[in-house]
Structure formats: structure tokens, C-alpha cells
Amino acid sequence: MDKVIVAKDLSLSYSNNEVIINKVNFSIDSGSFVFITGASGSGKSTLLKSLFGALSFKHGSLVVGGVELNNISGKKLNFLRRHLGIVFQDYKLVREWSIDKNIMLPLLINGYMKNVANAQVDKLLKHVRLNHQSGKYPYELSGGEQQRVAMARALAHNPIIILADEPTGNLDEYSSQLIWNLLEGANNQLKTTVIVVTHNIPKNLNVTYRHLHIEYGSVHEIC
């Protein structure tokens, strides 16, 4: 199996130099489905940020999609990020753009034709059951609805890796199931590597998954 992510002696900290993740080693196979759990404040989001190069680190090595992230150039990072689909814990929707345009962002960046992009946005809005909200702005949507927009945006350009930070954190049972089905689908049909930070792993999942747990700055394999 190809390794899509390899971390060696990876240590992470913010500008205050407090060590959040301490010399961890792990690797993730291409096409796998991984859950990351851990107590609030344990460093799950921090680890995820490092995977899309939003957190520079001084110690260790981290290779994502064959690209070393330590001291990566801006150009290479842009290139890598174009193949990632990220769901942020705080959604990060562009507030002055309609939800359609928000979902279209990765398609725009990846140079999709306008009509292809439009069709893709319509399809995704249906998938996350938001087609009736088309044309609205993020602030006109509920928290859970915004979260589903963020999920649609992460899926839009068929990324190689999906990094989702608590993508069901604000959703009811029904909408959560919707999200799991979408992630399952991407993993099953497109062989997308899926990495999800969550507090509760769903019971009825149709994929084999790995479970990593973060505690005291270390990453443990649960299963």
C-alpha cells in the first residue's frame, strides 16, 4: 500500500512554543479511513492543521502526498492544497459569498470550466440536502447548514485526501448520517483517503477504519 501521509518524530507547537504534539510517528495508507479522537484541547485540530501546512514545525518530518511539508515553498504548498478537501472546525466560509460560490471555490482554483463547476455545485447542494437554500449567504444559514456547506466544498473537486475536523459536531442524527454516507461514498468509490476528527465514531459504518487517539501529545493506535 502507498503511504499518503508519513510523520516522523513530528513535534508541533504554536508561537508560544508550548509543545502540543510531541515526537509522534505514524503513517496512513492511501485510500484508508481514519478517525482521530482525543479530549478537547488534546491537539486534534493542531495535528490536522499541520497536515495541510497551516502550522509550520521545527522538528521532525511530515510527508503528505509525497511532499515534505517541513520548509515547503509557497508554490508547492498551493499545489498540494489543491488536492486536499478540508472541513474546518469553524467552517471558514467566505461570508461575502453565496453558499454556491463558497462550494465552487476549489473548482475555481482548480480551473474547472464554468458549466462543469455549476453542475457540480448543484449536485453537491442536493447531496447535503441544501438545494432549497441555493443563492443564500452563510449568515442566512443555521450552524448545521453551514457545516454541510463546508462539507460540500471539501468534496467538490474530488480531492485525494479529505481532512475533516468534527464535521458532524453541530448536526442531528439524520444530518450526521448524511455526512458519514458522503465520506463513506468518497472513500469507497473514489478511494479518497479520509481523515476525520470526531468525538463519536458512528456505529453503522460500511468501511473498515483505523482509530488514532491523541493523549498527552502522543498518538496511539486504538484499532
Ligand X SMILES: Nc1ncnc2c1ncn2[C@@H]1O[C@H](COP(=O)(O)OP(=O)(O)OP(=O)(O)O)[C@@H](O)[C@H]1O
Contact residues toward other proteins (CB under 8 A) are 49, 52, 54-55, 74-75, 77-84, 86, 88, 92-97, 105-106, 108-109
Query: Applying CB under 6 A, what is the total number of residues that bind ligand X?
Result: 12
Here's the x/- map for Mg ion, 42-71, by CB under 5 A: it reads as: ---x--------------------------
The Cα 208–Cα 109 span in angstroms is: 32
In terms of Cβ atoms closer than 10 Å to its own Cβ (0-12, 13-18, 19+), residue 174 is: exposed
* 17 lies in the site for ligand X, by CB under 6 A: no
Here's the x/- map for ligand X, 46-85, by CB under 6 A: it reads as: x---------------------------------------
Question: To which H or E segment does residue 141 belong?
Answer: none
* 216 lies in the site for ligand X, by CB under 6 A: no
How many other C-beta atoms are found inside a 10 Å radius of the C-beta of residue 45?
Answer: 20
The Cα 64–Cα 50 span in angstroms is: 10
* 43 lies in the site for ligand X, by CB under 6 A: yes
The Cα 72–Cα 4 span in angstroms is: 17
Sites of contact with ligand X (CB under 6 A): 14, 16, 20, 38, 40-46, 89
